[in-house]
């Protein structure tokens, strides 16, 4: 594996991007080339990077991950999830050894999975440059990554143009599988609608129904759709919105914004900010005394928010998570993932690592069941509605908008006295079945593009 300096691509490909090639630890189980050629490229026409991207002994996956920028902490966790996933797929271990389609094999359709990592810098333009390089220069057969919905949507549109499958990374905006949905994009994280619908009854029961609420909202698609959905479902429970303060992504000083919230007369402070922004704004909210007089709710809790803020701030905070590591106590797939991650990295996975791991496994499963890397066949397999056992129980993607139908965990931050280990930050207070929180079909204007 090359060192960081050797793997930097030139500014013309991706400004300050770090490109890294990753090889699985185990070789692929090779099948006779005549069989493979007939199985993969039989009568399918050239499309995107197919068949060139599947013509050798390996296939390449391009990953655009925020290693710098406002969401860099989540990006490092996401990176580890992808590394573990492709290690398991190539070796036939971990969750790959448990899935019916992958059990007893190594690689995907007999091919080793190689991958490259580029720094998206939490910036849509940089992410598009990284993935354009991977598609054009590396014949990426699949692309993935992101911890920002703005990046996710930009990459989805690139994937549709280039006809290369995109397994969306972390993205909570309704638009990702709504008005900006694409035939070539699939999302596993709960949408803002799903998170808000799961969260609202819990916070109404625990905090009260007749309360006034102030929101801090990052000014992009994620922030606005999380606000809209959280407001919609909490107001159905009797909450009243008294302030919405919009802030830029990557702000360092929240003083003027928090002053408005402090003077709003609200009983509850809903912090929609994500990643480093959520940490900084929460710390400053404590300094302003806001958390002394208001309960804090975080609709989509950032992966490292609890560890960076500590139980003094996060105790009693309600929110949702894509995944929390104690789910290993109720699911053997989750246990396999959590134990392997802990063994490899010496820490528990956060939910961005989980998204990376699960999305990679779902792709490998779909390609194997399709029997080909030809994109339309893989997409139709993902759209089939087949329920796949996973770290979240049985899951599937809804054909109409490519949103994964999956359970949504609602959590409460633990106090120091409740924590049983240094990483035991949350109690899962409810797990809402996916079917009960999905938006009605067509709610957010999804119109998928063509297969070819």
Predicted local confidence at residue 71, as pLDDT: 86
**Is domain 4-190+328-405 given the CATH code 3.30.420.40 in the classification?**
no
pLDDT beyond 80 at 29: no
Q: What is the mean pLDDT of the chain?
A: 91
pLDDT beyond 50 at 28: no
Distance between CA 282 and CA 254 in Å, rounded?
A: 9
Q: Which of 270, 281, 153, 282 is nearest to 221 (CA)?
A: 153
Distance between CA 99 and CA 96 in Å, rounded?
A: 5
Q: What are 111-121's pLDDT values in tens digits? A: 999 999 999 99
Q: By the 8 A CB rule, do 122 and 149 touch?
A: no
Beta bridge partners of residue 296, listed in sequence order: 269
Q: By the 8 A CB rule, do 448 and 184 touch?
A: no
Predicted local confidence at residue 5, as pLDDT: 32
Residues in contact with 346: Cβ distance below 8 Å, sequence separation at least 6, in sequence order: none
Parse the chain into domains and list their residue ranges. Answer: 4-190+328-405, 192-321+408-436
Q: Average of pLDDT values for 156-182?
A: 97
pLDDT beyond 50 at 35: no
Q: How confident is the model at residue 123 (pLDDT cuts 50, 70, 90)?
A: very high
Q: What are 245-263's pLDDT values in tens digits? A: 999 999 989 999 999 999 9
Predicted local confidence at residue 147, as pLDDT: 87
| pTM of the complete model | 0.90
* Strands lying side by side in the sheet with 212-218: 240-247, 212-218, 268-271, 295-300, 318-320, 408-413, 426-432
Q: What are 177-223's pLDDT values in tens digits? A: 999 999 999 999 999 999 999 999 999 999 999 999 999 999 999 99
Distance between CA 391 and CA 328 in Å, rounded?
A: 8
Predicted local confidence at residue 42, as pLDDT: 60
Predicted local confidence at residue 401, as pLDDT: 98
Predicted local confidence at residue 256, as pLDDT: 95
pLDDT beyond 80 at 154: yes
Q: By the 8 A CB rule, do 297 and 269 touch?
A: yes
Q: By the 8 A CB rule, do 15 and 45 touch?
A: no
Q: Which of 213, 177, 211 is nearest to 192 (CA)?
A: 177
Beta bridge partners of residue 115, listed in sequence order: 22, 61
pLDDT beyond 50 at 307: yes
Q: How confident is the model at residue 18 (pLDDT cuts 50, 70, 90)?
A: very low
Predicted local confidence at residue 70, as pLDDT: 82
pLDDT beyond 70 at 36: no
In the three-class reduction of DSSP (H, G, I as helix; E, B as strand; rest coil), residue 227 is classed as helix
Q: Which of 274, 174, 276 is nearest to 221 (CA)?
A: 174
**Is domain 192-321+408-436 given the CATH code 3.10.129.10 in the classification?**
no
* Identical fold between 4-190+328-405 and 192-321+408-436: yes
Predicted local confidence at residue 32, as pLDDT: 37
pLDDT beyond 90 at 16: no
Q: What are 308-353's pLDDT values in tens digits? A: 999 999 999 999 999 999 999 999 999 999 999 999 999 999 999 9
């Amino acid at each position: 594996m090359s060192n960081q300096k050797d793997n930097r691509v030139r500014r013309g490909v991706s400004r300050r991007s770090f490109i890294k090639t990753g090889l699985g630890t185990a070789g692929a189980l090779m099948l006779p080339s005549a069989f493979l050629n007939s199985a993969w490229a039989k009568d399918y026409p050239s499309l995107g990077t197919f068949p060139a991207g599947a013509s050798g002994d390996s296939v390449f996956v391009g990953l655009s991950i925020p290693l710098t920028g406002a969401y860099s902490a989540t990006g490092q966790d996401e990176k580890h999830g992808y590394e573990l996933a492709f290690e398991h797929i190539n070796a036939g271990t971990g969750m790959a050894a448990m899935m019916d389609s992958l059990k007893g094999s190594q690689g995907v359709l007999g091919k080793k999975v190689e991958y490259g990592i580029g720094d998206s810098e939490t910036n849509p333009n940089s992410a598009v440059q990284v993935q354009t390089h991977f598609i054009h220069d590396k014949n990426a057969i699949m692309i993935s990554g992101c911890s920002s919905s703005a990046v996710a949507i930009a990459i989805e549109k690139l994937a549709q143009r280039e006809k290369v499958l995109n397994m969306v990374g972390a993205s909570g905006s309704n638009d990702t599988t709504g008005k900006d949905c694409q035939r070539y994009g699939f999302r596993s994280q709960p949408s803002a609608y799903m998170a808000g619908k799961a969260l609202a009854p819990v916070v109404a029961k625990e905090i009260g129904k007749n309360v006034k609420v102030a929101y801090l909202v990052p000014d992009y698609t994620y922030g606005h759709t999380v606000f809209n959905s959280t407001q919609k479902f909490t107001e159905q429970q009797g909450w009243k919105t008294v302030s919405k303060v919009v802030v830029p992504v990557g702000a360092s000083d929240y003083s003027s914004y928090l002053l408005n919230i402090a003077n709003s007369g609200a009983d509850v402070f809903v912090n929609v900010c994500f990643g480093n922004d959520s940490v900084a704004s929460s710390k400053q909210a404590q300094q302003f005394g806001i958390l002394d007089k208001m309960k804090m709710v975080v609709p989509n809790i950032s992966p490292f928010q609890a560890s960076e803020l500590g139980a003094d701030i996060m105790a009693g905070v309600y929110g949702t998570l894509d995944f929390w590591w104690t789910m290993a106590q109720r699911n053997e797939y989750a246990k396999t993932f959590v134990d392997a991650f802990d063994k490899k990295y010496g820490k528990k996975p956060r939910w961005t690592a989980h998204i990376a791991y699960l999305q990679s496994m779902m792709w490998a499963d779909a390609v194997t069941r399709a029997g080909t890397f030809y994109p339309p066949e893989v997409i139709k397999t993902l759209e089939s509605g087949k329920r796949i056992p996973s770290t979240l129980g049985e899951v599937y993607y809804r054909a109409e908008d490519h949103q994964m139908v999956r359970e949504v965990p609602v959590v409460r931050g633990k106090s120091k006295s409740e924590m049983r280990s240094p990483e035991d930050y949350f109690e899962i207070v409810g797990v809402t079945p996916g079917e009960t929180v999905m938006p009605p079909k067509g709610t957010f204007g999804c119109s998928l593009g063509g297969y070819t």
